[in-house]
Amino acid sequence: MADKAQELYRKLFDRIKEAQMLSDVISLLGWDEQTFLPRGGSDYRAETMAYLSGMLHKKITDPDVGAMLSELEKTDLVKDTDSVEAVNIRELRRDYDRQTKLPQRLVEEISRTTSLAVNNWVQARKDNDFPKFKPWLDKVIKLMKEKAECYGYKKEAYDALLDEYEVGSNVEFVSGVFQGFKDRLVKLVAKIADSSRKPNMAIIEQYFDVERQKIFGQQAAIAIGYDFGTGRLDIAAHPFTTGLGPKDTRITTRYNPHHLGQALFGTLHEAGHGIYDQGLPKEYYGSPMGESVSLGIHESQSRMWENQVGRGKPFWKHFYPRAQQVFPEALGAVKFDDFYFAVNDVRPSLIRVEADEVTYNLHILLRFEMEHALIKGDLAVDDVPGAWNEKFKAYFNLTPPTDSEGCMQDIHWGHGLLGYFPTYTLGNLYSSQLYAKAKQEMPDMERQFEIGNFAPLKKWLNEKIHSQGRRHHSNKLCEKVTGKPLDPNFLMDYLEKKYGELYGF
């Protein structure tokens, strides 16, 4: 009987691996679409991706897959709920049940529309032309509402979309997460604004040769553990990471010749995503045990390398002398403390991906409220620019001068990724809690950073997070690793200590 179960399990695994190969082809086309595809090729690419997405959906919702899962769920393979086999069967069942609720027609239309929407977003953002993007956003919102109805939900349609990126997440949970630290965050922002200490931003807002930025960013990515033997770094309109196979990870960034931090911290962020993908168990690639557990945990890895590490003093004690060598005209005479203060400047800003650690979560709160209202029907697409600017004024006391710096700055809505934004804040919370635990278990960790040794943290994350695949859902994984469920106090304790020292309170 056991041999029969193992044989059926291997048969299912082979089917899933075939589906993964097709998924990788679609991802490769998506990567190419955002990096090298000529604009004239976008319409045909959209049709190609829609066709392949339909093929993939048909393959993963084949009734034979459901029948195999049903048989396997009756075997001893699922007795040990944490075993590789049990995890794969459990998570494949979740995926199968969700995907079979979506008609192939809808899957293809979502793929086609979002592909075209992203291409139109790129040009509309460049031209500051929201009316050009508006009909595409309207189509995407309607498709996401239809998708949510297919999935089903207990309270709100938006819950079904949140659950796609973070299992068990819903509006009530996300709202509670924000309420758990919002008051302390607002007070911290006010204290920083009232401080007489201000960094000299001219230090990092002068000319930095882009070719040198590329070299410096690549060196930083290598140092923290991103493997260029199995990965690439390219340029895109909006930084992103995609995995195309067990030894093929692609990350992107964008460069500003008049700001050092934009590309550097974007590169560290995407390298953090890439390190997670490269650390997943390769022998299980294509199955849930070879996949990341959630976007909240994925964002915890990128935000940790970008912020706790990349904006930290130990990191710069190692890298600042190198930065002075690479950019002698800009940084040669700048004192370390002045530079460190500049890269940790806190002030309300227009662009989310360039925001500081403290105000970043207000950017996410705004987007969460906007897309929740769009899905609920409380906000019309026509009213998005005005609603965005009104909220931005309320949260940041700033009004975006253009829609390109306002409601069109992110690629996510064009991609149909409604429900994704809250995972950035969850990632910030998870990253702080995980980092605190890593420091507790490795008291010398930051001293190692000062001499350029980031391997202990990468190894710790490989063992505690990456190797686990989807064995445990996010909050359970957090509790198993740190001993506590998700707790916003870790993030606020970290921010208050760091920025209290910088701003003198």
Q: For residues 330 and 216, is the Cβ–Cβ distance under 8 A? A: no
Residue 241: strand pairing partners: 251
Environment class of 204 (CB within 10 Å of its CB; exposed 0-12, middle 13-18, buried 19+): buried
Helix 182-194 and helix 360-376, axial crossing angle in degrees, nearest 10: 130
Rg (the chain; Cα; Å): 23
**Quick check: 212 and 381 in contact, CB under 8 A?**
no
- Cα–chain center distance at 2: 40
C-alpha 143/C-alpha 136 separation (Å) is 11
Task: State how far the Cα of 423 lies from the Cα of 141, in Å rounded to an integer.
Answer: 19
Q: Please tell me the distance from the alpha carbon of residue 143 to that of residue 141, in angstroms, as a whole number.
A: 5
Active site residue 270: yes
Catalytic residue among 270, 299, 357, 371: 270
Residues 6+ apart with CB under 8 A from 457: 309, 438, 442, 445, 449
Distance CA 410, CA 416 (A): 11
Phi-psi region of 416 (alpha: psi -120 to 50; beta: other; left: phi over 0): left
> What is the Cα 137 distance to its own chain's centre?
21
Residue type (1 letter), 227: D
DSSP H or E stretch at residue 234: strand 231-235
**405, burial (CB in 10 Å: exposed 0-12, middle 13-18, buried 19+):** middle
Give the Cα separation of 317 and 311 in Å (integer): 11
Residue 94's alpha-carbon distances to 62, 79, 358, in angstroms, are: 14, 18, 36
Q: Which long-range contacts (CB under 8 A, 24 or more apart) does 320-323 make?
A: 322/216, 322/219, 323/216, 323/260
Active site residues: 270
